[in-house]
Amino acid sequence: MAERLRLDKLLCYLGAADTRSAARDAVRAGRAWVNGVAERDPGRVLDPTQTQVSLDGEPLAYRRWRHVMLHKPAGVITAARDPRAATVMDLLPALYAACGCLPAGRLDKDTEGLLLLTNDGALTHRVLSPRTGITKCYLAEVNGPLDTDDVLAFAQGITLTDFTALPATLTILESQPDGARALCKVQEGKYHQVKRMFGARGRAVTYLKRLSIGPLALDNALEPGAYRELTPEEVAALYTATGLPIPKE
Ligand code: URA
């Protein structure tokens, strides 16, 4: 069944207002129209799929599903909100919070790179579940050399204090006595997982960046802190990889 929304919430959802109170003011000022008729009740409940809403004469297009890729910068926490620290939601326009977008998984505060945000909880669940087998690829820099023993240990599944990681792929890009760079592909997303796996091999991670989630690669054109919506092709690839039907807008 289609969700039903109050007009003030719908205006936020459609990106026409940053806050519910701004939306209420706009409606009470007579700036909102519903199916061609002025509507001054912000509490009017509507089925957005069956309703044409306009603000200041501009028709607003409803979309049920929103999927965003964010190039998460270091120094920002992955949370919906936090009273003290900047969160990834602060980097997006308010409409994404209004329509229920949340991060699909977490990156540590000092980790950079691809963060998917979506308002489809089923997609988030599938992306995160190890059973779906969606591989996350990270670029890691560590404080010492890496060798084929490390590659083998990752492939066998590294035993940590509380669990044994699923087999992971380690590809060494460069290794020097004082540091190494490698690509690491994991199927899980447990707390500090990549750092702990390298830690179990006696290496500390000095830099970590997520490059991809399954078929979804971080867009190189996105600077740290920048975001964009997924293209229809990216949406289709992600839903297909997770075994979910591609939603019709
Ligand atoms: N693994 C980590 O250790 N940290 C991250 O942010 C992501 C994966």
Cβ–Cβ < 8 Å for 184, 207: no
Identify the pLDDT of residue 142: 98
Identify the pLDDT of residue 2: 61
Ligand 1 atom 2 nearest Cα: 192
Q: What is the mean pLDDT of the segment spanning 54-70?
A: 95
* pTM > 0.85: yes
Q: What is the mean pLDDT of the segment spanning 15-31?
A: 95
SS3 222: coil
Q: Which residues line ligand 1 (CB under 6 A)?
A: 107-108, 111, 192-195, 208
- Ligand 1 atom showing the smallest separation from residue 192 Cα: 3
Q: How far apart are CA 72 and CA 87, in angstroms?
A: 10
Cα distances from 204 to residues 116, 148, 150, 169, in angstroms, run 26, 18, 13, 18
Tokens of 41: 């009740």
pLDDT in tens, 76-90: 999 998 899 999 999
Which phi and psi angles does 95 have, rounded to 5°? -60, -30
Cβ–Cβ < 8 Å for 132, 243: yes
User: Catalytic annotation on 108?
Assistant: yes
Q: Catalytic residue among 18, 25, 108, 219, which?
A: 108
